[in-house]
Amino acid sequence: MIRSQVGGLCYRVRNERAEILLVTTRGAGRWIIPKGWPLAGETAGASALQECWEEAGVVGTLSGSALGAFTYVKDRAEDDHPHSVTVFPVKVKRLEDKYPEAKQRRRKWFSTAKAAQRVTEPELRQILAAFEPTRF
């Protein structure tokens, strides 16, 4: 059984170049985009935006439709099902210092190329490497 999640590709433009915000996973400390379960009664995009707030302190807006999806298997033995994450672009207005998972994760800005190198999921690498905010 494949489980469906949503995620936000959080970005900003500095000196005409896109930067991507990545966060660490709580367990292994790997770099990833903010992601999680869809919220009941919310759209997939709104759910992704909520995950960006909870995991990275992002205050921003959805800036388009889904960019694609990637699959992964969680690092924990109790959840070995594959997960499919639909990725939405999120334009970051600002980052807050106080947010729900501030003490559980690190966050850092990367160029699109460096962000693609930091993540382990091949499909997410492709989404990050191909991202062009001028489309939005």
Residue 1 has a pLDDT of 83
Q: Could you give the CA distance from residue 61 to residue 49 in angstroms, rounded to a whole number?
A: 7
What is the per-residue pLDDT across 71-103, written as a single tens digit (0 to 9) for each? 998 766 566 788 999 999 999 999 999 999 999
95 in Cβ contact with 23 (< 8 Å)? no
Residue 28 has a pLDDT of 83
| Of 54, 101, 121, 123, catalytic | 54
Please return the burial class of 87, using the count of CB atoms within 10 Å of its CB with bins 0-12, 13-18 and 19+. Answer: buried
Q: What percent of the chain has pLDDT over 70?
A: 95
Q: Is 54 a catalytic residue?
A: yes
Distance between the two ends of the chain, CA-based, in angstroms? 34
Lowest-pLDDT range of 26-35, 103-112, 119-128? 26-35
